[in-house]
Amino acid sequence: MNSTNAANAAAMTPTPRRGVGRKNMLERVVAVATLVLVVVFSFSIDGFATLGNLRVILSNSASLAILSCGMAVVIISRGLDLSLIAQMVAGATIFGILISSGVTAPAALLVAIVAMVVFGFLNAWLIAYVEIPAMLATLASSMFLVGLLRFAILRGEFLLLLPKSNPTVAFLAGDIVPGISMPVLLMVATLAATWFLLNRASVGRVVYAMGDNFQAARLAGLPVRTSTIVVYVFSAVTALIAGLIMAAASGAVDFRTVTNGTLLFDVILVVVLGGIPLRGGRGGVRNIVVGVALIAIMRNGMTLMDFTTQTQDMLKGLVLLTAIVTDNYLNPRDAETDTVGDL
């Protein structure tokens, strides 16, 4: 075996790390905490433990789960996408403007997909080729995209109303069959696509290698730049799907979703709570499901208990801080993780 093949093999082989034996501990703790909350809420809140409320939880958590899929793939590759919510709003805005102008739904959807692919590609190009840190590149692109849409297209308005009578809008918000809504179906499809990308596609192995040790993956000749493009384009497409779901359900696209930062905070919270370390290299669909389950149950229970938005944010912030501290303890930094690829 020549030196290049040896390097490739070494880069594709997971490197043992301190704390690997404990890496699933946070995931298990969160799963147990979710079950405890379900039991507590079932006995303390009237109407929580009902089939109707379960459907509400699933539908309301669909967009969060879809966004978390995009963010999880980015973070596993040791990146960060702060433009995720801006892309969500942008994709829904493009789609909404086109169908309101009489463009057919398939054509409007195609244009929105192309726009999101282009935007995801630009994010990846700034990160992989211009070598701007992911946090700064996506923060700048988020500000640019929101400003462009609000002032060049919406003339400074915060809201774009969608015609809820439009068959496409009604289809996106309705049920496929009784008891199974379109948002839930899209959530399952996105989770399946994420699993395939990470576990069956060749780019998935490169994503894990990048997160595990970016410099080693690059020196081994792995296609880290093209893989970065795939990662950020995938993130942009998931943002579009989530945006369509949210816009169809509410009948409007609200740009304040970007400026108040709550949804982006929830997405990062899901990823960290699920057990995906912010330094990358580990995680999968199971972690996303665990994190979404806890946040969805928390939000639903706190809403039924009439907690204010501020109280909910405070409690979620406390949970996030606890999860980060716990993750730092269970997955401590070592000489390898400190040298390369930090956000």
Question: What is the residue-averaged pLDDT of the chain?
Answer: 85
CA distance 11 to 18: 18
- Residue 4: is its pLDDT beyond 90? no
Q: What is the pLDDT of residues 239-281, one digit of tens each?
A: 999 999 999 988 888 888 887 778 898 899 899 888 898 888 8
Three-state DSSP at 255 gives: coil
pLDDT at site 46:
87
Three-state DSSP at 222 gives: coil
CA dihedral 117, 122, 123, 126 (to 10 degrees): 160
Is residue 342 in some structural domain? no
Is residue 321 in some structural domain? no
CB neighbours (10 Å) of residue 130?
Answer: 8
Nearest C-alpha neighbor of 69 from the set 224, 179, 194, 185: 194
The DSSP 8-state label assigned to residue 22 in this structure reads G
CB neighbours (10 Å) of residue 337?
Answer: 20
CB neighbours (10 Å) of residue 107?
Answer: 11
Is residue 74 in some structural domain? yes
Residues 6+ apart with CB under 8 A from 91: 112, 115, 116, 236, 239, 240, 243, 244
Give the whole-number percent of the chain exceeding pLDDT 70: 89
Checking phi first, is residue 200 left (phi over 0); if not, alpha (psi -120 to 50) or beta? alpha
Tokens of 231: 């990662």
pLDDT at site 150:
82
Give the pairing type, strands 175-177 and 252-254: unpaired
CA distance 285 to 274: 9
pLDDT at site 118:
97
What's the number of domains the chain is made of? 1
Q: What is the pLDDT of residues 50-105, one digit of tens each?
A: 888 998 899 889 999 999 999 999 999 999 999 999 999 999 999 999 998 889 99
Cα radius of gyration (the chain): 20
What is the pTM assigned to this prediction?
Answer: 0.87
- If you write DSSP's letter for every residue of 39-55 in order, what string do you get? HHHHHHSTTSSSHHHHH
Is residue 83 in some structural domain? yes
Find out whether 190 and 62 touch, Cβ atoms under 8 Å: no
Is residue 162 in some structural domain? yes
Tokens of 114: 């192309």
What mean pLDDT is predicted for residues 285-289? 94
Is residue 226 in some structural domain? yes
Nearest C-alpha neighbor of 240 from the set 67, 81, 98, 59: 67
Structural domain span for residue 132? 65-264
Q: What is the pLDDT of residues 197-218, one digit of tens each?
A: 999 999 999 999 999 888 898 9
CA-to-CA dists, residue 105 to 90, 118, 125, 318, angstroms: 17, 20, 30, 42
Find out whether 136 and 82 touch, Cβ atoms under 8 Å: no
Is residue 6 in some structural domain? no
pLDDT at site 157:
78
Residue type (1 letter), 60: N
pLDDT at site 23:
56
Tokens of 175: 């049920």
Per the DSSP assignment, residues forming a β-bridge with 181 are 175
pLDDT at site 321:
80
Give the whole-number percent of the chain exceeding pLDDT 90: 47
Least confident range from 8-12, 127-131, 149-153, 227-231: namely 8-12
Is residue 80 in some structural domain? yes
Per the DSSP assignment, residues forming a β-bridge with 161 are 252
Given pLDDT bands bounded at 50, 70 and 90, which one contains residue 332?
low
- Residue 337: is its pLDDT beyond 70? no
Residues 6+ apart with CB under 8 A from 111: 94, 95, 98, 103
CA distance 120 to 141: 10
